[in-house]
Amino acid sequence: MSDLSKREEEILDFWNKELIFEKSLEKPAPRGDYVFYDGPPFASGLPHYGHLLQSAIKDAIARYRTMRGYRVRRQWGWDCHGLPVENLVEKELGIKSKRDIEQYGIEKFNEAARVSIMKDVAGWRKIIPRLGRWVDMDDDYKTMDPSYTESVWWAFKTLFNKGLIYEGFKSMYLCPRCGTTLSNFEVAQGYKDIDDIAVTVKLPLVDELNTSLLVWTTTAWTLPGNAAAAVKADALYVKVKVRDEFFIVAKARAAAVFGGTVEVVGEIVGKELAGKKYLPPFSYFTDEFAKNKNIWRVYAGDFVTMEDGTGVVHIAPAFGADDLALAQKNAVPLVRHVTDEGKFVQKVTDFASMSVKPKGNPRETDEKVAALLKERGVLFKEEKIKHSYPHCWRCDTPLLNWAATSWFVKVSALKSKLLSENAAVGWVPEHVGTGRFHNSIASAPDWAISRSRYWGAPLPVWRNTKTKETRVAGSVLDVLSMARRSGNRYFMMRHGEAAHNATNTLDPNGDPANHLTEKGRGEVIHTATELRRENIDLIVSSPFLRTRETAELVRNELGLSQAVLMIDERLHEYNEQPDMLAVRRRMGDFLFDIERRYVGKNILVVSHGNPLWVLQQVARHRSNTKVFVEKNMLRTAEVCEIPFTPYPHNRDYELDLHRPYIDDLPTGDWKRVPEVFDCWFESGSMPFASAHYPFKKDAFNPKRFFGWGSRGYPADFIAEALDQTRGWFYSLIVLGVGLFGRAPYKNVITTGLILASDGQKMSKRLKNYPDPMDIVEKYGADALRYYLLSSPAIKGEDLRFQEKGVDDVSKKLLMRLDNVRSFYDLYADGTRRSSASTHTLDRWIVGRLGEVVQAVFTGFEFYSLDAASRPMAEFIDDLSVWYVRRSRERFKNGGEDKTDALATLRYVLFTLAQVTAPVMPFFSDALYRSVKEEGDPESVHLSAWPEAGIVDGDLLRNMAVVRTLASKGLQLREHSGIKVRQPLEAFEISTQVSETLMPILLDEINVKKIIYTPGLKEDTLDTALTPELKEEGTVREWVRAIQEWRKTSKLSVSDRPGLLIQTPDAEFIRAHREVLIEATGLLSLETKQSEETVFERL
C-alpha cells in the first residue's frame, strides 16, 4: 500500500470518528437544499469503473455545493427487481425457462432473488466510502421494499386516472428465453449485427394459372404463420415471365429481383391486386381457417416500400407491428404458430418444438425452413445477408416480434410536453439532449410497462372474475379494502401480576408454581368487568399457569361456559434465549389462523408482554426492523383492542407485496392480473418512491403552495452513463411529466463508457483491466478520481482506461503537491496566512490561484467537471516548479521576505485545499489540516468555498512571457551543452520584458544581462565563457555538491554543521570559503588537498 493510500485511510478514519459527513449535513445552509437523485445500482457484483466514475461525479458536485452553502441530502439506493436479477438467480439454480421457475416455486425463486441481490452489499459498503464518496448507506432505499412499491402503485393509479395508462394488444418484442415482452428502450440496448438469410417465396394465385406473387422476408421462420400479403395501392406492378412461370412484383423492384433484362407480359396497379386469393407457403393451418374468407388474400398497405424486397410484403399478423395493424383493420385472423418460448407449435409438424431463432446459431431454423420451401418448389431465391437484429439486453437471446397484451403508458399523449421540458434541461454534453435524447422522445412509442415475470413489483390491477370489472389499487390500503375479512374483533390482554412480576424475576418457561398474586387476581377481575360490554365470544390463552388463571378468572366474571376457553401453545412466553423473530412467526401464524377459522367473533387473547407486543406489530403489518426498537408493553391485566385486516405477507409475517403473497390474499371474486412492473418504471419512480410519497411528505413534495417552492423536486442534478438515455433518464422524465407536469431534473451529465486499455469492453473473463481496489491501494483514491473526472468520459466520450494515467496523476500532481506541503512544513513557524504581500512572486501566485478558483467555480457551475479539474494540475505545476523553486532563497534567508513568503504559501495551500476538496477529498483534507489556523473548521469539507479575489491580469500575462522566454533560454543552453549553473553573459530577445520581472528572468537562465532587440528574428544566447564566468560556475558546482552532501546526511535546514572537504581543488575552495558557507548554511568550512574528493562533518 502506498503512502498516499495509507494517508487516505487515516483521513477516512478521521471522517468516521468525527462524523464529518454528518456535520456537513447539519451545518447552516444559507442557500437551502440542493436536490440530487442517485440512480440505484444493482448490488449483484462489486462496483466497476463505470460505477466509480459516476460516484466520483456525484460526490464531487455534492461536496462543491455543500461548500457553496447548500444542504445536499445523499441517500443511497438499491435496484432490486427485474430481469438482470432473475437471470442471475436462474443461473445459480440451473433454471432454464419460466416453466422451470413455476415448478421450482415462485416463492422460493423470489426468495432466492431477494438473497442474491443483497449478497454483495458488504463489498459496496466498503468500496464506495473508500473511494471518498459521502452518501448515506444506512438509511438506504430498496426498490423491493413495500413502501417503495406502494409509491409505485400510487404512480400507476394516478396515471391511470389521468387516462395515461391503458391495456392494449400490440406487436412488441419478446424474449423467448425470459418469456416476457420488452419495452422499446430495452430493445434498443440489444441490437447486434448477425449473419442471416433472406428468402424470396412464391405465393401462387388461386385465379391465375402458373402465376405467383413473390414475397421477400428476412424471417423465414414466420412463413408458417403467413395470413396475408400486402401491396402498395398506387404502385405499378409487373407480371414477368420466367420460363413457364409468371411472377408478380413491383415494377420498381423487378430489375433487383430478377437481374438483367426481364420479359414483362403485363402491368397492373397495386389496388387492383387487392382482394386476390393465394395459396399459403405452408398448409399447416388450412383446415383450421378453411371457412375464413379474409385469410390468405392480398391487401393494400401504406407501409409497403420500394427500397428492398419485391414490393409485395409477407404478412404474419402475430409477428410484426405493420402486420398486426393490417390484420386488425381487415379482420384477418392471427396464426399463432410459435409459442411464447420461441418454439414451433405441434401443428407445425415439420418443425414442431424447434426453436425459431436459436441463440448461438440464429439462422439455423431459417435455413431449414428455406430447405423445405425449396423441396416443395415454392422457394424462388435464398441469399445471405448481414443485418442488425435485436437481442435480449440481459440474456443475449435473439428477440421475436410478438403480438401480445400489455399495459402501456401513453407516451404519445405526453410527447409535446416531454419535448418542451427536455429542451429546458442542461445537458452535458449538450448534443446528447438536443440530439439523441430529443430524438428518442420524438420517436418513442407508448411504453410497455408490464412483464410476464416474477421478481418485480406486482401490477396493482384486479379483475372481477364474474363482472370483468377492473379495479386499480394505488396504496396498500386500497388492496386491504379488497381483502375478505372475517368480521372478528380482537382484544389482547396481558396476564395479571404473578409471583415472578412481584419479585422482578423472569419466567420464560412457565414455572408451575408461578401463580397470580392477590393483587394480580384483583387486577384481572377489574379488567373483566370492563370487558362485559364487548360481548366476548372466545378466549384463547397461553398454556402458562399465570395466563390460564387469568383467562379462567375472566371467563367466570363474564359468565361464559368452559367451552369458550381455548389453550394455544403459540401464545407462550419467549424462551430463555429470546428469539423475537420466532415469536413473530408464532404470533403471525396464530393471528392469521384464527382469522381464517372464525367469523364474526369477539376474541380475547390472553398472553404475555413480549408476545402480545409482537402480536400488535404483526396486526399492524409493521416490518421486523421497525418491531425491534424500544417497545411499550401492556401492563399486567391491561387489555386493548387491535384492529386487523389480513395482508399479503412472507413467512416472517412482514408485509410483502411480491408474488405469490399478493395473489394469496383472499379477495373473493377479485383476482390480480399476473404481470409485474418493468423494472425501469420502478427506477423511474425513485424521486418520490424513495421518500414514500405521497404517504410521507417530509422529504418530497412536488407541489408549490402560494410562492413556496416544492421540496425534493425536481433534481438540480443527476449523472449516469450515456446508455441511460434509453433507460433511467427516459423513465424519469416520462413519469415526472406524467405525474407532476415537469421534468424531474434540471441538469444531466452523461458519461462515456470506460473500456479496457485495448479499447475492448472490460471483461472479468478476459481479465483485461486492473482491479479498482488494487489501483486505489497503489495510487490512492484521489488519483483515480482526478484521472476519471478530468477525462473525456465526462463529455460523453469513451475512455480507454490506462493505469499509467493514474500513476501520472499520483506522481505529477499529488506527490508534487505533497512535496510543496513538506517544503512548507520545513520552514513553518506559525506565521498566519495572508495574501497581502507585495512581492512580485507572491502577487503572481495569488493571482494564479484566483484564476484557478474562478476556473474551477465556472466548471462546477456549468457541470463541466473536466474543465473544473484540469486547472488544478496546471496550478500545482506552477506552484511547485515556478513559485516554490523561485522562492527557496526567500525562505532560507529569513526576515520580512521569509514572513511574506510563508504567509503567502500558507494562504495558497489553504485555499488550494478548498478548491481541490470536491475532486481530491482525502489529500485536500490532509493538506487543509496541516495549514489551517485556530478557529477554522476541523475539516476542509466543513469550510466555505473561497472567493477568487482580484486578479492582476497584467502581472499574469507578463509572467507568462517571462516563463516562455526562460524556457527558450534553457532550451538554448541544453542545445549548447552548457549547464544552468554556469553563468553566461547575455540573452538577446525580441520580446519586451517588464522591469519588475527582469531579475527573475536573469536568475532563471543565469545570465548577466538581457538585451531587448525589437524585430530580432531569433532569440540568441551568448555562450562565450570568460575566466570570470567559469570561476563563478565552478563556485555554483561546489554549492550544489555541498547541498547534496547535506541531503544525504539528512540534515535539516536549521542544522549548521562544520565541514571538511578533502579535494584536488582545495585552493579554490579556500579562495571562496565565505561565499560557500553563506550559500550552504555551514558553520565552518575547512579543506585539505587530496587526490580524491571526500566530505567529512566536523
Provide the annotated active-site residues: 495, 573
Nearest to 565 by CA among 543, 594, 540: 540
Diameter of the chain by CA atoms?
129
Task: Tell whether residue 497 is among the known ligand binding residues.
Answer: yes
Does 499 count as an annotated binding residue? yes
Hey, what's the torsion of the CAs at 303, 307, 309, 310, to 10 degrees? Answer: 80
In total, the chain counts a number of residues equal to: 1098
Number of H helices, E strands in the chain: 41, 36
Backbone Cα Rg of the chain: 41
**Cβ-defined contacts of 574-583 (< 8 Å, 24+):** 574/508, 574/608, 574/610, 574/611, 575/508, 575/509, 576/508, 576/509, 578/508, 578/610, 580/610, 580/614, 580/627, 580/628, 581/624, 581/652, 583/610, 583/611, 583/614
Contact in structure between 749 and 867 (CB atoms under 8 Å): no
Between CA 330 and CA 312 the distance in angstroms is: 17
| Pairing label, strands 211-217, 245-250 | parallel
Q: Rounded distance, CA 785 to CA 565, Å?
A: 70
- Return d(Cα 476, Cα 149) in angstroms, integer: 9
Please check if 498 is assigned to a binding site.
Answer: yes
8 Å CB contact between 637 and 553: no
As to burial, measured by CB atoms within 10 angstroms (0-12 exposed, 13-18 middle, 19+ buried), residue 572 is buried
Q: Is there a binding annotation on residue 958?
A: no
Annotated binding-site residue? 868: no
CA dist 220 and 316 (Å) reads 11
Please name which of 739, 644, 628 lies closest in space to residue 688, comparing C-alpha atoms.
739
**Cβ–Cβ contacts within 10 Å for residue 105, how many?**
12
**Cα-based angle 810, 816, 821 (whole degrees, multiple of 5):** 120
- Beta strands at 565-567 and 538-541: parallel, antiparallel or unpaired: parallel
Residue 268, classed as helix, strand or coil, is strand
Q: At what angle do helices 49-67 and 865-877 cross, to 10 degrees?
A: 80
Question: Are 1006 and 981 spatial neighbours (Cβ–Cβ below 8 Å)?
Answer: yes
Instruction: Cis check for the bond before 460: say yes or no (omega within 30 of 0).
Output: no
d(CA 248, CA 229): 12
Distance CA 218, CA 226 (A): 14
Q: Phi/psi of residue 490, each to 5°?
A: -120, 130
HSE on the CB side for 117, CA within 13 Å?
Answer: 25
Whole-Å CA distances, 1016 to 13, 208, 967, 988: 61, 95, 18, 8
CB 236 within 8 A of CB 248: no
| Cell reading at 716 | 438540480
Among residues 454, 432, 436, 446, which one has the least CA distance to residue 184? 446
Whether residue 390 has a cis bond before it, omega within 30° of 0: no
- Compute, in degrees rounded to 10, the torsion defined by CA atoms 1007, 1013, 1019, 1021: -30
Q: Is 501 annotated as a binding residue?
A: yes
Contacts of 348 (CB under 8 A, 6+ apart): 224, 282, 284, 337
Q: Is 608 annotated as a binding residue?
A: no
Contact 817, 876 (CB under 8 A): yes
Known binding residue 500? Answer is yes
SS (H, E, C) 528-575: HHHHHHHCCCEEEECCCHHHHHHHHHHHHHHCCCHHHEEECHHHCCCC
For residue 117, give the amino acid letter.
Answer: I
- Confirm whether residue 555 is marked as ligand binding: no
Position of cell 372478528? Answer: 488
Measured in degrees and rounded to the nearest 5, phi and psi for residue 240 equal -115, 135
* Location of C-alpha cell 437523485: 37
Known binding-site residue numbers for substrate: 494-501, 546
Known binding-site residue numbers: 494-501, 546
